Structure 1
Amino acid sequence: MDVQRLAAFTYDNRGGNPAGVVLCDALPDPTRMQAVAAEVGYSETVFAARTPEGYRVRYFAPEAEIPFCGHATIALGAALATREGDGAFKLKLNEGEVTVEGRCGVDGLSAALVSPPTRNCPAPSHLLETALALFGLTDADLDPRIPPAIIDAGARHLLLAMNNRAALAAMRYDMQAGAELMREWSLATISLVHAETLGRFHARNPFAAGGVYEDPATGAAAAALAGYLQALGIEAGDLEIVQGEDMGVPCLLHAAAPTIPGGGARVQGTVRRIEG
């Protein structure tokens, strides 16, 4: 099986979150796709097969299938643009549809996606209490402007906005306990962010439920954050999200709020091929 390896959301052509991309005539059996994802070892591998309407797409982490993955979709957009030329491609997910635009130009590869609809709700008190304990945090560590919430743009995340960049850099947690918590609440990741300004965030995303300690760039969470800020009445414009710094894997994501409340958010970034 031909697996392309690309890093999405690069920062000055460095870093980026690696994703496997498999373009095939027909999607393999799910057991086979899961095995390939585990062998590739990246946080996600995306499988795409052409249909009359566009592409049928499924995403697999090393230990589980997930409903939607932003950075793998950006990598897929770049791979499709390389093969078919620049353009917009419709993707059919297990639930719903998204669009990705891929570009292959003299300045390199890039892509932009429009996420599934964005949703949010307050974080239940028991979930919040358990999550804060998991990371050794208290209510005093949280930014009161951005209350804890479950945010969604194709995948569910618990959002914890922290008022201190140093505390974000010091993030540690027990991976087994984190995986159990995320699976209990059907969370793709827990998204910890710090607002340098309300238009520029630093983020970290534990992904224990998928068998990955931390995701260096999380496009689905970026889309969900943009939708949540809009719901809070915070107009961030072109939202910049810097992620992966504390892992030594710099990533930069750009996100724009939905054109209508609750609609899909636009997330874009640059892509590089992983050599070797």
Structure 2
Amino acid sequence: MTAAPAPEILRYAAFAASPDGGNPAGIVLDAGALDDAGMLRIAAEIGYPETAFLLGREDGDGSGDGSADSDRRYRIRYWSPAAEVPFCGHATVATAVVLAEREGPGAMVFDTPVGEIALTATTTAEGTAVAFTSVEPAQRELDPDVLARLLDLLGLVPEDLDPAYPPRESFAGNWHPVLVLHDATVFHQFRFAPAPVAALMRERGWTGTVTVLHAVGDGELLARNLFPVGRITEDPATGSAAASTGAYLRGIDRVPADRTVRIHQGAHVGRPSLLTVRIPESGGIVVSGGATPIPG
């Protein structure tokens, strides 16, 4: 009987807007033999916001027609240093870049805990870019009492919210509360205590981040994604939040004419990032970016 290959651990930064930017992701290849405790242990040892575990490959019919049955197909799970995460956009992009580098670009499908994620990887002189399409989005009203508690924890008041962007909860793989602030100074300077925010997130089932935005022009947003897990308090680049933001904008009828949004994130944690979001009239939201190896 042939022993399963030992897991290979890689480290990549996704969505970087500068050489020192992007969100670090761990990528564990050949992870099919790991149990939950093993994946959690490795994610904690790596210490990044999330680590992706590639469990195996199950290809379709090879017709290449773009359907879920025809593309390269992989099983994948995601873990933070504290718990499993249903979906992680930046680790998805980083993993797809690795697969494109090793096996060639093209279409692929990831079977994730939240459903199928269709991806396309393209390689140019500048490197490999990946676009993933989220699962079917959903939205719901943000309970006024919960909103009041969240604002209080962030040191904000209702008057800080941009009246053109009502607060909502938005889903495109993870549930994210979405707040849009009208004042740039308040957006850049608000502070929060991680533990109470983390407790509220667990209570509400917000498995992604708390997404706080500021609109700087048509199709341009600044984002801060609060992710108080262990020593990590704010995410440099959040693919699932970018998808949820696209769904949110579609839900409140604030989609730009070209149906594309650029999200600038990570400046507050010293890792500038850029996420490009395409918002079709229906269906999943498309998030694009690249990833590069982290030296050392």
Could you say which TM-score interval applies, normalised by the shorter chain?
A: over 0.9
Q: 1:186-243, CA deviations, whole angstroms, 9 ceiling, x for partnerless residues?
A: 1121000000023100000111257620111011111111111112111222100000
> Percent same amino acid at aligned positions?
38
Q: 1:33-54, CA deviations, whole angstroms, 9 ceiling, x for partnerless residues?
A: 0110000000000011212341
Residue 280 of structure 2 is matched in structure 1 by 258
CA distance in 2, matches of 1:178, 1:25: 32
Q: Secondary structure at the match of 2:213?
A: strand
- CA gap of 1:65–1:211, structure 2 versus 1, over 3 A, is farther
CA distance in 2, matches of 1:27, 1:13: 35
Residue 123 of structure 1 is matched in structure 2 by 142
From 184, 187, 193, the counterpart of 2:203: 184
CA distance in 1, matches of 2:230, 2:279: 27
Moved more, 100-109 or 46-55: 100-109
- CA gap of 1:76–1:104, structure 2 versus 1, over 3 A, is same
Residue 248 of structure 1 is matched in structure 2 by 270
Superposed CA RMSD in Å reads 1.4
The answer to whether the Cα contact below 8 Å between 2:93 and 2:132 also exists between their aligned partners in 1 is yes
Q: 1:148-195, CA deviations, whole angstroms, 9 ceiling, x for partnerless residues?
A: 110110101011100012111113111110110000001121000000
CA distance in 2, matches of 1:98, 1:106: 26
From 179, 195, 212, the counterpart of 1:160: 179
1:148 aligns with 2:167: yes
CA distance in 1, matches of 2:9, 2:183: 40
- CA gap of 1:186–1:98, structure 2 versus 1, over 3 A, is same
Deviation at 1:12, TM superposition (A): 4.1
1:35 aligns with 2:41: yes
Provide the TM-score with structure 1 as the length reference: 0.95
Residue 52 of structure 1 is matched in structure 2 by 59
CA distance in 1, matches of 2:172, 2:22: 21
- CA gap of 1:20–1:212, structure 2 versus 1, over 3 A, is same
Provide the TM-score with structure 2 as the length reference: 0.89
Letter in 2 for 1:121: R
CA distance in 2, matches of 1:127, 1:197: 29
User: What 5-or-longer segments of structure 1 have no aligned partner?
Assistant: none
Count of residues in correspondence between the two structures: 274
- CA gap of 1:198–1:215, structure 2 versus 1, over 3 A, is same
From 241, 246, 271, the counterpart of 1:221: 241
CA distance in 2, matches of 1:154, 1:270: 19
CA distance in 2, matches of 1:110, 1:13: 16
CA distance in 2, matches of 1:16, 1:116: 23
CA distance in 2, matches of 1:27, 1:152: 31
Letter in 2 for 1:270: G
